[in-house]
Amino acid sequence: MNRALPLVILAMAILAFATMLLVVVPRAQIGSEPPAAGLRAYSPEELRGRAQYMSLGCVYCHSQQPRTPDQAPDGERGWGRPSVAADYAYDSPHLMGTMRTGPDLLNVGARLPSTAWHLTHLYRPRAIAPWSIMPSYPFLFEIKDHAAPGDTVVWLPREQRVAGKVVVARPEAMALVAYLLSLDRTYPAPASAIRDDGYSRVGGKP
């Protein structure tokens, strides 16, 4: 018992220190960061799509945080400049992610600004990239005999179409695509995000 108490105290002290270092201090540093000048709030449809993004677990395979050159060659991959705190002003909760089974998506709306491309990719990823391991989401779509006025028909390669049928995007698919297209942080990083020594506040040179 005499040995257990110091261990418990030490463990609690380490936990308190880690919380202070990783939660409290960063919050104090960037908690008042205003939105970047080029950033706009999400529309109601984009917010519905963001909820779809979370419910489908996209964050487990895709990050939303292009990193600095000393951490990863994200700029060379075409994923954009390193992200800064002001890029996430309207994100709650944040979906920065930690895994990159697929590419970073913070600027996917700038890289791939096509609604048709995203709909095909969500319905049948291997129609776009045969080597893709991304799961398909057929429940976001409906197979019909004929498209009705206002329907958005999903393009598919001829050999993958169902004879006499069309694939139509449900509202959930359209909302998810609207959210993906809203992911565009290609505006210049705000000056407030750059420290006096030329380094980004998120770490590393901008």
Between residues 33 and 147, the one the model is more confident about: 147
pLDDT category of residue 64 using cuts at 50, 70 and 90: very high
Q: Which of 69, 62, 68, 130 is nearest to 96 (CA)?
A: 62
Domains, the chain, in order of start with CATH, read 29-193 (1.10.760.10)
Mean pLDDT value across the chain: 89
pLDDT for the residue 3: 76
Is the pLDDT score of 201 beyond 80? Answer: no
What token pair was written down for 130? Answer: 């045969």
Q: Give the CA-trace dihedral at 42, 185, 179, 71, to 10 degrees.
A: -130
How does pLDDT run across 65-120, given as a tens digit for each residue? 999 898 899 999 999 999 998 899 999 898 999 899 999 999 999 999 999 999 99
Mean pLDDT of 134-139: 96
Sign of CA dihedral 159, 162, 164, 167: negative
pTM: 0.83
pLDDT for the residue 199: 45
Is the pLDDT score of 137 beyond 80? Answer: yes
Is the pLDDT score of 205 beyond 70? Answer: no
pLDDT for the residue 98: 86
